[in-house]
Structure 1
Amino acid sequence: MEKIQERLELTQKVLNKLHELASKTELSDVERDALIQRFEFSFEILWKCAKEYLYAEEGIDAASPKKVIRCCRELGLLDEEQTTQALQMADDRNLTTHTYDESFARAVVERIRTYDHLLQNWLENLQ
């Protein structure tokens, strides 16, 4: 449990950094790119934290982000709407890693602002 607690604390720090940029109304190109990168690693650390939680607390071994999200839904850690958003978030995370074009970057930034709240709620539910 101590390892999970450390992971939860680290995840909170990472999400605070994401929120720092996501809450800004105007972003320069550099800030926009930094927000996208912060989103990528915020999503990564949170789904892996949830994966560890599922295994330690519930004995569930889920190997992929989408499986972890669905398991969190089954346990009530995410509701139906949050699950739908989280699955879209996983898709966006994959696209941000492998695709870059200006119009996609602008569109995903707006979704990241919504994901910022979702990620924080998900973490709170794990705690």
Structure 2
Amino acid sequence: MERITERYRLAVRALGKFHELASRDTLNEIERDALIQRFEFSFELIWKCAKELLYVQDGIDAASPKKVIRACRETGLLSDAETEQALKMVDDRNLTTYTYDEAFVASLIGSFPEYDAVMHSWLEKLK
């Protein structure tokens, strides 16, 4: 449980930093890049926290983000709509590593308000 508590604490902190930038109306290029990095960090910490919790509480050993997300839906940690958004987050997170064009960045940043809400809800249910 100590490991889950530490992961949770780190996820809360990372998501707070993500929210701080995601809620701004305008961003310069450096802030935009930082926001994308904060999204990546926040998402990674949350799904790994969920993975650990699923294993400890339910005996579910899911190795990938998408498997963890689906297991979270099955155990009631995510609604169907949240699951759909979380699965989209995985795809977008993967694209941030390999694709960096302006159209993608604009689309991604446009998704951040919804992602922020889903990650906050998910993290609250992991508490």
Judge same fold: TM > 0.5, yes or no.
yes
**SS of the residue aligned with 2:60?**
coil
Q: CA deviation at 1:113?
A: 2.0
Instruction: State the superposition RMSD in angstroms.
Output: 0.7
Q: CA deviation at 1:10?
A: 1.2
Written as runs of structure 1 = structure 2, the 5 A alignment for 1:49-64 is 49-64=49-64
Cα distance in 2 between the residues matched to 1:20 and 1:126: 21
Partner AA of 2:75 in structure 1: L
Deviations 1:1-46 (A, max 9, x none): 1221121111100100000000101111111111011101111111
After superposing the two structures, state which structure 1 stretch, 36-45 or 70-79, moved more.
Answer: 36-45
Written as runs of structure 1 = structure 2, the 5 A alignment for 1:113-124 is 113-124=113-124
Task: State TM-score, norm by structure 1.
Answer: 0.97
Written as runs of structure 1 = structure 2, the 5 A alignment for 1:1-12 is 1-12=1-12
Cα distance in 2 between the residues matched to 1:64 and 1:30: 30
Written as runs of structure 1 = structure 2, the 5 A alignment for 1:94-113 is 94-113=94-113
Q: Does 1:17 align with 2:38?
A: no
**Stretches of structure 1 lacking an aligned partner (at least 5 in a row):** none
Q: Does 1:67 align with 2:70?
A: no
Number of aligned positions between the proteins: 127
**SS of the residue aligned with 1:109?**
helix
**Stretches of structure 2 lacking an aligned partner (at least 5 in a row):** none
Tell me the equivalent position of 1:91. 91
Superposed structure 1 runs of 4+ greater than 3 Å apart: none
Contact 1:40 1:97 in 2 (8 A): no
